[in-house]
Structure 1
């Protein structure tokens, strides 16, 4: 019997499937893989918007969709071929969370299954997606949440692993927890940052942007950033407002004259902002990054500055400094972390990271903070920064390091950034998407005495 005649898959769904395979099979970042394929395949307008929602929405809700798929199929996820599981995830997002008619969504995914995996999987794709579509998302959540404890239900409803829910619950009042988790499922606006001395926010506003809410260097933009000449020229970059604020804080408190150090510089967003701020007061900046590729990104990010204002970019290990102790007036230690504060930008990270990653990173974070403090001159200021609200990556690191040394005091964040006094968590700064519209950045400002 001849196989049925199939329609050619539409370009948006095919692109979304290829991105999801790159994410789940090869460890790619969804936003980077999506941007690359949109450009190379020339998708624009409605097709690009549809593909973007398919990728972002499926990545955000993947854990919840996996439970729905397993229940609908009556078999464990491990019994599915990985590519078929990604097809089912894309289909589940369309029938449960998008305004795509069920017959159209199922038919399109069956055609895509035939074109990408083979005719042999079209039957199971069709059957499982029709069972998924038999209930709406609220009904599935009610069914799957029956008998579970409250935080497990919240994890299912907001599509977060339970360990992430527990970490947020440790840092927030209980009444705020649902809003904080749901904020991770919102698509953030594109936020631009001007390079001080090279561009002004007013230039971006004249081009159609809106001034930022909190950072004096920020602007909100709708549309592809590369459409702006200032972005193409390197005078303006793309950077979350929270990242701008924690770097700006390093320049707001008194410190002696002398060079500045960005200890963990890659990929270079904070370096580019600090370079302009350092140049305004006539101080040099040194940027350190152990990865050759990321060091190249740092250098590219500061290319628009005049040669005498560009930071020195060193490929080096910040825990094994080649400089003398006490060499720098201001030191930023934006340490590697789990990135739990940026889940709205990198939604796949919530399913990729584990609680074990937090403990694995902790020794590196404490070592880098210790190195940053050693690098600071007497009276010098150190900013310890993470894009995570997890206590083991924030407060625990600071308190553990300070407990082992004298001659360091905490400078209250409310004094460093009085404009953000409401974002202070004790003496530290903790931003949140649901409160401030930024990534959940943490900063502690410390002074050598």
Structure 2
């Protein structure tokens, strides 16, 4: 199954007749091109494109809320199943996919999703996609698109999967990879993580990999956080919201809800934050301390969601928060998220592996390390096709270095939260185990121990055997956030 980015510019050429322009599908196509050409993320490029289109007059290509919902489904659905659609399209063309221009392949994928992943009637899906091809590719390529999509339309998704996926008992990983649209290596990694000791109690034994893969393919809810001391969940609640599942500060928006329509969100007193992200911050803030509780550190704070929640919690206790972020533009986002926080806080543009603060000065330290992002595939469906197994080797030294510096930043008796939005074992328990093992071998006297993080999330089920925590989309409705809590003992 293809996992290579399909890069390339838009081909030149004009249609021979004036085709009917479809602003929804044109917008979806342009979003896919931005994702491919600029390595952008759909959840970052699509919203401003939708806002701009909704501000236009319908006579000038403007769209309404229903059109925006269709464009969103076309973009996310096409990206989510890109590898599976590539495998199906490959059966319908007379050349290797690498020889098909990327813009043509994007149009074909949009058509395949309409045919196989939506309720749009087949004739309408083919016709609309061919018209799109005439607009963005020209008449000649539109004829190619028409021929390929008519072959795709000869069967439904289940029929195609029966044809292209090997039987489960012959090759379970490839079967799941094609049926649930994940690269094979990601299926293998998630399966391993579900069977890990820290997840052994989840899903019975090895866990239910199909439930997890299905959850990755669902559109996530939009979850808000009411920042304590600045907003309440009651202020965010309405007929269009539901209470959070686990976090006392969470509110879930109904499908189609617009966070920016809420005063509290516009004013920064509340924000959009996955409930898993809230839970790991709350666990760090609730961990028992030996000694004072006055100085908190968020080491990799960009873009600022956890920092804003931690800053509000710290302010309630009279503690100060220092938020550090390596990239200056992301540090500015953190400062914006913290604006209006009542307690003392500061933001510095600092590399956590070469810290600007003195060691041993913090009571609580959170380090949310850069990672593959395999825990957020619901939100960033293109990431599954963009990441490679070799990316793990690139992140490994950074993750270990940041955790070592986090332990060094904590005072003896202080706590450290190691957090990552990936369930891959190479990014979770392997990192923690290696750092703890290294501390025992080093001669500077620094030492740390694992705490049982499960006790700090009362009411949250299926947290495994501990002492660390792995949250899951199919079990908790959250991103697959990982948390290990350490106490510095010397």
TM range (shorter): over 0.9
Specify the alignment match of 2:432 in structure 1.
398
| Aligned equivalents of 1:175, 1:250: Cα separation in 2 | 27
- Residue 29 in structure 1 maps to residue 61 in structure 2: no
Structure 1 unmatched runs, 5+: none
Specify the alignment match of 2:485 in structure 1.
445
Deviation, 1:184, is: 0.2
Specify the alignment match of 1:422 in structure 2.
462
Specify the alignment match of 1:279 in structure 2.
315
| Aligned equivalents of 1:418, 1:190: Cα separation in 2 | 23
Specify the alignment match of 2:201 in structure 1.
none
Specify the alignment match of 1:134 in structure 2.
154
1:96 counterpart (116, 126, 135) = 116
Whether the 8 Å CA contact 2:80–2:217 is kept in 1: the answer is: yes
Structure 2 unmatched runs, 5+: 1-13, 55-62, 195-204, 441-446
Specify the alignment match of 1:296 in structure 2.
332
| Aligned equivalents of 1:56, 1:75: Cα separation in 2 | 27
2:214 counterpart (162, 179, 182) = 182
Whether the 8 Å CA contact 1:195–1:272 is kept in 2: the answer is: yes
| Aligned equivalents of 1:107, 1:411: Cα separation in 2 | 59
Give the TM-score normalised by the residue count of structure 1: 0.97
| Aligned equivalents of 1:312, 1:421: Cα separation in 2 | 35
Specify the alignment match of 2:306 in structure 1.
270
Specify the alignment match of 1:154 in structure 2.
176
Deviation, 1:106, is: 1.3
Deviation, 1:432, is: 0.2
Equivalent residue of 1:444, what SS? strand
- Residue 81 in structure 1 maps to residue 121 in structure 2: no
Specify the alignment match of 1:354 in structure 2.
388
Equivalent residue of 2:484, what SS? strand
| Aligned equivalents of 1:254, 1:12: Cα separation in 2 | 53
Whether the 8 Å CA contact 2:300–2:367 is kept in 1: the answer is: yes
| Aligned equivalents of 2:42, 2:130: Cα separation in 1 | 23
| Aligned equivalents of 2:231, 2:166: Cα separation in 1 | 55
Specify the alignment match of 2:472 in structure 1.
432
Whether the 8 Å CA contact 1:7–1:111 is kept in 2: the answer is: yes
Which shifted more, 384-393 or 138-147? 138-147
Whether the 8 Å CA contact 2:81–2:181 is kept in 1: the answer is: yes
The total of aligned residue pairs comes to 446
CA deviations on 1:19-71 (whole Å, 9 max, x unpaired) are 00000111111011110100111133110010000001001000000000011
Which shifted more, 32-41 or 110-119? 110-119
Specify the alignment match of 1:252 in structure 2.
286
Specify the alignment match of 1:17 in structure 2.
29
| Aligned equivalents of 2:64, 2:285: Cα separation in 1 | 41
| Aligned equivalents of 2:15, 2:23: Cα separation in 1 | 23
Which shifted more, 235-244 or 111-120? 111-120
Give the TM-score normalised by the residue count of structure 2: 0.89
Whether the 8 Å CA contact 1:259–1:329 is kept in 2: the answer is: yes
2:251 counterpart (219, 224, 227) = 219
Deviation, 1:420, is: 2.9
